[in-house]
A = this chain, B = another copy of it.
């Protein structure tokens, strides 16, 4: 099954990054991706939905693990939109290389991996095994821009 069909079946409607600047014009000079050979390097992707930050705050106090998971899932959707914007066709995705995940959290919150799984589970469901399963590490951080609770930094192998 084609990836776009799979997304349709899952009821996921990708944002179209071709119609607007990557996360607006307020973040400074940056671009959404860079391709060298068969590696797509994605810029930071975040839990923005319809122009709003999903579940802003810090996991462990103002954001629950389940909300963090949903924010990470939205980030995964945006990552796929970022891949489509970069590649034109999602069939060019050979496999996720790695995702380095950032969770804004309280110092005593150590279940950061449960939050990241919102992103990993989504990518795995869309692209299947093995293409949708990548390397991963998750770090609990002090803060992210605009009080986001999650952000990811990924590389993708492409054809």
**Residues of A that sit less than 8 Å from B by CB:** 27-34, 36-39, 41-44, 58, 95-98, 100, 102, 104-114, 116-117, 120-121, 124, 130, 132-147, 151, 153, 155, 157
Contacts and interface: CB of A to CB of B under 8 A. Distances in A.
Given A29-B133, A141-B142, A143-B107, A34 B113 contact: no
21 contacts: A28-B113, A29-B117, A29-B133, A30-B136, A31-B130, A31-B133, A34-B95, A34-B134, A34-B157, A36-B38, A36-B157, A41-B98, A42-B135, A44-B138, A58-B107, A107-B142, A107-B143, A110-B146, A112-B145, A140-B142, A141-B142
A11 B30 CA distance: 24
A111 B144 CA distance: 8
A117 to B, nearest CB: 4
Q: Is the interface of A mostly helix, strand, loop or mixed?
A: mixed
Contact of A151 (B104, B124, B137): B137
Contacts of A116: 28
A28 B95 contact: no
A100 B97 CA distance: 16
B135 A151 contact: no
